[in-house]
Amino acid sequence: MKGWEAIAADLRKRAQAMHEAREAGLVRCRELIQLSARCIRHVHRHQWKEADALLTQARGVASQARSALGPYPELLHAGYLHDAEKEMVEASAVIAIVRGEDIPTPETLGVDPMSYLNGMGEAASEVRRYALDEMRRGNLEAAEAILAQMEAIYDELITFDYADSMTGGLRRTCDALRAVVERTRSDLTATASQHELVQELRSVRSRLGDS
C-alpha cells in the first residue's frame, strides 16, 4: 500500500492548498460585498467621490478574489464568488445608470456572464429608490431617464430564458424587476399628473390675481 500512501499524501497537500485558496477567496468575497453595499449607499446620498473610491477599491478586491481562486477552476464557480461579483456589478451599474453613463461590460469588470446579468437585474431594481428621490425633488426628466434604463435592462434580461442552474436564478431576478418597473412607472405617472395639476392651479391663481 505504499503507492496508496504516496497518492494520499499528494492529494492531502493539494486539498490543503485548495482549502487555503478557498478561505482567502471567501475573505475577499465578503469584503467585496461590503464595499459594494457602501458604494451604493453613497450614491443615494450623492456622495460621488466616496462612491467612486469604493468602487475602485471593490474592483481591486474582486480581482484579488479571482486570483486567489484561479488555480482551482472548480472554485471559480462557487456560489459565494457569484454573489460577491453580482454585488459589484450592481454597484457599478447603479452609478452608470443614475449618471447617464455607459454601462460597464463584463470584460471591464472581470466577471462571468451570469454574475453580470444578475447584477444588472439587481441594479435596475436598486435605482428605483433614486428615481423616487428625483420625483420628490420635482426632477421628472431624470426619473424618466432612469425608468427608461430600467425598462431597457428588463427587456433584454427576459430574453435569457435558460435553466436556473445555468443562470444563477436570473428568472427570479427578472420577476422581481418586472414588479419594480411596473411600480416605478405607476409612481412616475401619478407624480407627473400631480405636477400638471399643481401647474394648472398656479396658472388659474395667476389669472385670477391679474383679474
Q: Please write the tens of the pLDDT for every residue from 49-70.
A: 999 999 999 999 999 999 999 8
Kindly indicate the confidence band of residue 79, based on its pLDDT and cuts at 50, 70 and 90.
confident
Asked if 1-111 and 118-211 have one fold, the answer is yes
Q: Are 168 and 114 in contact (CB under 8 A)?
A: yes
pLDDT, tens digit, 9 for 90 and up, residues 81-122: 999 999 999 999 999 999 999 999 999 999 999 999 999 999
Distance CA 87, CA 39 (A): 10
Percent of the chain's residues with pLDDT above 70: 91
Q: Are 90 and 111 in contact (CB under 8 A)?
A: no
CATH of domain 118-211: 1.20.58.2140
Q: Map 25-78 to HEC letters.
A: HHHHHHHHHHHHHHHHHHHHCCCHHHHHHHHHHHHHHHHHHHHHHCCCHHHHHC
Arithmetic mean of pLDDT, 160-172: 92
* Domain boundaries, given as residue ranges, for the chain: 1-111, 118-211
* 3-state SS assignment for residue 99: helix
Residue 153: closest CA among 170, 136, 141, 133: 170
The grid coordinates listed for 165 are 442552474
Decide yes or no: CATH 3.30.110.30 for domain 1-111. no
pLDDT, tens digit, 9 for 90 and up, residues 11-50: 999 999 999 999 999 999 999 999 999 999 999 999 999 9
* 3-state SS assignment for residue 169: coil
pLDDT attached to residue 113: 95
CA 134 to each of CA 127, 145, 148, 194: distance values in angstroms, whole numbers, following the listed order: 11, 11, 14, 15
Q: ∠ CA(141), CA(144), CA(148), 5° rounding?
A: 140
